Structure 1
Amino acid sequence: MGKTEVYSLNQLRDYSSLFSRSEVEQWATGNFFSINKKIKRYDNNWVSFKNATYIGYLKHLYKILEQHYPNEYIFKNSFLNEWLIQELGKTNSKVFNEFRVGNAIADLVMFNGHSKVFEIKSELDSDNRLQLQLENYHQAFNQVFIIVPENKLYTYLKYNKNVGIITFSNLRVNKFELVRDAVLDLQINPEVIMNILRTAEYKSLVQSYYGMLPNMTSFNQYDLCKKLIKEIPVDKLNNLFIQLMKRRSFTPQISNRNYTELNQINLSLKLNKKQKEKMILNLKSPLNM
């Protein structure tokens, strides 16, 4: 259905733009202007297909990108589907997308018994900022992983041996392979943790450890709590931080069976069950050019 043997780089980039956050926010609400543009530009034969839907077309594009242009969206989504989703089946696990840590934004982070961060470097990425990113991550997470293309493995082996390395290849049935496990390190930086926590969270952390909150105002609560948090033994602070992150209200609506191509979208947009179902229903609409 709509098979093409050769795709230009511009065409692949154009296809991949549909999975960007700004575009997804449009078609998730039933605005299919951008998808229609791609169909008219590259795949006008889809209009004549019987029972053709927008979800069918997006699945078609996903397969093309997976084989010919594995950009960051494909990387993240594949990793969610083939690796993290196994952990998410456990009640004590929570995953977040684009998680700010110091001066960096982590691609994916997971909290279960320990805290883990995953930084993705696709074929299209350079490693120019990676050292700075890793330095930030080591201050807040127990295990730090980088996910890299299999053919670029030796570019990344030079980094700190405490960093785990997972390779990606779309030529394998199991696309991801753990090449080097991350060293478990429970040492975290209280100042970095403090900047991750929301006001209610750092107050809750102080209350949990000390059994009470000091007398404070909205003007001095940050400084007072920060001082107290810095005095908590690191192993205790690590556990309290993980428990707080696991209590954050968002629960990702991802599936290991249906519409797996859209799991990263659900995570990125923080769609609840009702919003996800509405988006899928919209995408099941027949093409309307």
Structure 2
Amino acid sequence: MTITAREASKLFNSNKLSALADGDYSHVEKVAKGFLNQEVTNFNVCDVYEHTYKRLSQEYRSEYYFKNTIARRRLLGRHSLKTATMLSEFRVGRSKADCVILNGKSTCYEIKSEYDTLNRLEEQLNDYLKLFDEVYVVCSAKNLDSVLKMADERVGVLELTQKNYFSEKRAATPRIEPIDIDLLIKSLRKEEYLELTRRNTGEVPTIPNSKLVSFCKSALKTVEPEKIATSFIEVLKEKRFNDGDLLNVLPSSLINAAISYQFSSPQIEALKSIFGACKESRCISHISEESSLSL
């Protein structure tokens, strides 16, 4: 039975990958047969993911595809995992930033694919501009004109072209106003805003939990804005680092999955085994072909 690109794209969601890690290959088989027309008895898991991803790049560029392209071209294409970290769905006020890359600066990427509406865009960008050094909207051609008109002039705009490259239509203007401390505290986990306070004031408050937020806000508002901006990045990079071992094993189509999804330790090891075996199989096959050619 033939399946749609939308159905095939579920191959990349958290539930299907968790199921695969737990030994359930049913959706991989379904996609292999119904989307790629491969014999179910003769498929390679890595190939199913890579070939599906390639077709989706032309037929169904979902939010996942945008995020994965940002991870490939911006995180790994420009930086190293030793110096940069990517966060997914980072809460900022009433909004969630789709992608945030932290290196020497914080850069936010808000995705507007052709399947997204722009109803909350202005509100989202207003939040992001109070926190990050640079803010970009990444959109398809369908939304490009509307985004350019709606987005604050400080916001950069990137179009994901039909050839799947980013075309910069407007550069982001670096933030010059101090970070909004109230918004910052709401965006961080408890251990993160406590560490931020300790680094900037030298104090580790031993007060009731009900008073912690108020204490940290007051303390951080006395610190130079430049120090806040720098230590905010440093703390998040330490607390929310990307799993380089998993990233190195998974195919390029699953970079965002390694960054965005939460897997149990056994699931991580299972995914490493599944995709590591695929790569090893390919290497052996390649060596065998070269050997036969040399005879």
Q: Aligned equivalents of 2:274 and 2:123: distance in 1?
A: 37
Q: Aligned equivalents of 1:257 and 1:153: distance in 2?
A: 35
**One-letter amino acid of the counterpart of residue 161, structure 1:** E
Q: 1:33 aligns with which of 21, 26, 35?
A: 26
Farther-moved stretch of structure 1 (103-112 vs 234-243): 234-243
Q: Aligned equivalents of 2:29 and 2:269: distance in 1?
A: 25
For the 8 Å contact 1:140–1:192, the answer to whether it is kept is yes
Q: Aligned equivalents of 1:29 and 1:193: distance in 2?
A: 37
Q: Aligned equivalents of 1:255 and 1:14: distance in 2?
A: 25
1:62 is aligned to: 53
Aligned-pair distance for 1:97?
1.3
2:16 is aligned to: 23
Determine whether 1:149 maps to 2:140. yes
For the 8 Å contact 2:97–2:108, the answer to whether it is kept is yes
Aligned-pair distance for 1:279?
4.2
Determine whether 1:91 maps to 2:82. yes
Aligned-pair distance for 1:44?
5.2
Q: Aligned equivalents of 1:244 and 1:256: distance in 2?
A: 24
Q: 2:272 aligns with which of 268, 272, 277?
A: 277
For the 8 Å contact 2:157–2:171, the answer to whether it is kept is yes
Q: 2:168 aligns with which of 160, 165, 178?
A: 178
1:268 is aligned to: 260
Determine whether 1:135 maps to 2:130. no
TM-score of the two chains, using structure 2 as the length reference: 0.82
Aligned-pair distance for 1:71?
1.2
Q: Aligned equivalents of 1:88 and 1:279: distance in 2?
A: 27
Aligned-pair distance for 1:284?
7.4
Number of residue pairs the alignment of both structures matches: 274
Q: Aligned equivalents of 2:84 and 2:35: distance in 1?
A: 41
Q: Aligned equivalents of 2:202 and 2:250: distance in 1?
A: 45
**One-letter amino acid of the counterpart of residue 235, structure 1:** E
Counterparts of 1:190-269 in structure 2 under 5 Å?
Answer: 190-214=181-205, 216-253=207-244, 259-269=251-261
Bigger relative contact order, structure 1 or 2 (CA pairs below 8 A, ≥6 apart) = 1
Q: Aligned equivalents of 2:209 and 2:260: distance in 1?
A: 32
- 1:36/1:48 Cα in 2 relative to 1: closer, same or farther (>3 Å)? closer
Q: Aligned equivalents of 1:46 and 1:170: distance in 2?
A: 30
Give the number of the structure whose residues are more often helix, by fraction: 2
Aligned-pair distance for 1:283?
6.5
Q: Aligned equivalents of 1:139 and 1:277: distance in 2?
A: 39
1:4 is aligned to: none
For the 8 Å contact 1:97–1:267, the answer to whether it is kept is yes
**One-letter amino acid of the counterpart of residue 117, structure 1:** C
For the 8 Å contact 1:29–1:279, the answer to whether it is kept is no
- 1:217/1:46 Cα in 2 relative to 1: closer, same or farther (>3 Å)? same
Aligned-pair distance for 1:214?
4.6
Aligned-pair distance for 1:228?
1.3
Structure 1, unaligned runs of 5 or more: 1-7
For the 8 Å contact 1:250–1:270, the answer to whether it is kept is no
TM-score of the two chains, using structure 1 as the length reference: 0.84
Structure 2, unaligned runs of 5 or more: 282-295
Farther-moved stretch of structure 1 (113-122 vs 205-214): 205-214
For the 8 Å contact 1:95–1:108, the answer to whether it is kept is yes
Q: Percent identity?
A: 27
**One-letter amino acid of the counterpart of residue 170, structure 1:** Q
1:161 partner SS: coil
**One-letter amino acid of the counterpart of residue 171, structure 1:** K
What's the Cα RMSD here? 2.8
